[in-house]
Amino acid sequence: MDRQKLQLLLEVAILGAVSFVLDKIGFSLPQGGSITLSMLPIVVMAFRWGMVGGMLTGFVSGLLQLAMGGYVFNAIQAALDYFVAYTLVGVAAVTLGWLFYSKENGHKGSMVTAIVIGTVIGGALRYLIHFIGGMVFFGSYAPEGQPVWIYSLVYNGSYMVPATILTAIIASLLFTSAPRLLERK
C-alpha cells in the first residue's frame, strides 16, 4: 500500500471517530437528531481528499453512530439515517476545484463561498435523507391534522439547518486561517 492511500485511510478512521464524538456533544432533540458539529470532520475530509475521502469518512461516522447506540426502527431506516445520510455529506467536495483555484489565487472571499456552498450541498443532502426517513418511518409523531411531510420538514430542519450553518462557519474559519490544511503531504 502506498503512503498516500495509507494516509487517506488513517485520516478517514481518525476523522470518522472525531465526527462520532462531536455527534455526542450538542443539543439533542427528543425524537432523534441534534445540533452538533458532526459534519465538520466529514467536510474537512471532503475538502482535503475529495468526494471519496469525504464520503468514506461519512460512512465511518454513520457506522460508528449506529454501532454505538443509534435508533433503529428497521434496516432500511438505519441505512438511510446513518449510512446514506452521513455518506452524502461528503458530496461537499463538489466545490473542491473552485476552492483550490481560489486558494492558489489568494481569494479568501471566494474560498469562503466555495466552502459554504459545498457544505450547504452536503448538509442539504443529509437533510433530504432525514426528511424522507421522517416521512416514511416517523410520520406517526406528526400532530393530529398536520401533514406528515410538513412535520418531517420542520422537525428535521430544526436541527439540520443550524448544524449546517455552524459547520459552514467553522469550516470557513478553519480553511481560510490555515489553508495548509488543504494540502496532503
Identify which of 107, 104, 90 has the alpha carbon closest to the alpha carbon of residue 47. Answer: 90
What is the DSSP code string of 50-87? HHHHHHHHHHHHHHHHHHTT---SSHHHHIIIIIIHHH
**CA–CA dist 155, 28 (Å, integer):** 12
**CA–CA dist 7, 4 (Å, integer):** 5
Helix H or strand E segment including 28 = strand 27-28
What pLDDT does 181 receive? Answer: 86
| Number of residues that this document lists for the chain | 185
What is the pLDDT tens value at each position of the chain, 185 positions in all? Answer: 799 999 999 999 999 999 999 998 987 777 677 899 999 999 999 999 999 999 999 999 999 999 887 777 788 888 999 999 999 999 999 999 999 999 999 999 999 999 999 999 999 999 999 999 999 988 888 899 899 999 999 999 999 999 999 999 999 999 999 988 888 76
